[in-house]
Amino acid sequence: MNENSKIGIIGGGSWGTAIVKMLGENVDALNWWMRNEDAIKHIQKFGHNPNYISDAELKKNKLNISSDINEIVENSDYLVLAVPSAFLKSTLDSLKIPIKDKIIISAIKGIVPENNTIVGEFIHNQYNVPYVNIGVITGPCHAEEVALERLSYLTIACSDVEKAEFFANAISGRYIKATVSDDIYGTEYAAVLKNVIALASGICHGLGYGDNFQAVLVSNAIREIKRFVDKVHPIERDIKESAYLGDLLVTAYSQFSRNRTFGEMIGRGYSVNAAQMKLKMVAEGYYAVKCINEINEKQKIEMPITEAVYNILYDKKSPKNQMRLLADRLN
């Protein structure tokens, strides 16, 4: 790819908006798909997304925004996927333009529930995109802090490091630092699992557990993530790098973490439906923990935190009892 490569973003939510803001600092033009026609008109007029991180200033003169996904795909070489994993399949079902020759970058931190696969596998299996043309954006980074232009770090993972470097350069700027990795499986699975851990962190906070316990929970969590990613994709990796440990820390502790917020509401006694309605955004960890649990029925990896969250959300077991039992298994 070269500097004339065209980039398209699929998704008008928080991460889609944040990526548009980051890329808008460096590239001359961007293609952007979102469903909401009213939001499109508002952005074209005012340069702000009225529905998500509305403080983010967008370079409206650089944006070609459309509700026609085929128009955006046809006019883009790189496609950044930024829709919730639960809605990815339905979003792409309307595609008439083949994407097998596009470079696909996933900013989705979840598993596609219809296929029970991470996004990279889904894109490869369903659309014949070779793995060398598939990449992943991982943190540690919250969209809300991008809007505030606070210094943030991203990792772009792709087995073709040259493609990762192209995108890392395109998204880097005065408040964004981006590095590259070739561990597409490990970074993507770790990004999925950190949302599950954030649910556990929030549940514990809602139940009244303190910082001491949270520290033990998260130190056990990074070991749980390592056991999982080493089993499903055994390569040499340093789990202490920011793409793994850093992403876990920010999601487990940050006030901007919707998964932690969702978990806290569960810990305070909200039902799943009530918490979803109050949050008004998708907590990827809710869907991810079911998929991870199904994967682990075959893998048989020791995952006590994930098991506890699954038991609470899907088996309707008592958060108080599950966390008490979990506490006895941590060290």
Question: Is there a contact between 264 and 288 (Cβ–Cβ < 8 Å)?
Answer: no
In the residue annotation, 278 being an active-site residue is answered as: no
Within a 10 A sphere around the Cβ of 249, how many other Cβ atoms? 18
What is the Cα–Cα distance from 249 to 254, expressed in whole angstroms? 8
What is the Cα–Cα distance from 317 to 259, expressed in whole angstroms? 19
User: Environment class of residue 310 by beta-carbon count within 10 Å: exposed (0-12), middle (13-18) or buried (19+)?
Assistant: buried
Residue tagged active-site, from 194, 280, 300, 316: 194
Q: Tell me how far apart the terminal alpha carbons of the chain are, to the nearest angstrom.
A: 48
Question: Is there a contact between 288 and 192 (Cβ–Cβ < 8 Å)?
Answer: yes
What does the CA dihedral 225, 103, 121, 230 come to, rounded to 10 degrees? -30
Q: Give the length of the chain.
A: 331
Nearest CA-CA partner of 211 in 258, 253, 266: 253
User: Environment class of residue 44 by beta-carbon count within 10 Å: exposed (0-12), middle (13-18) or buried (19+)?
Assistant: middle
Active site residues: 194
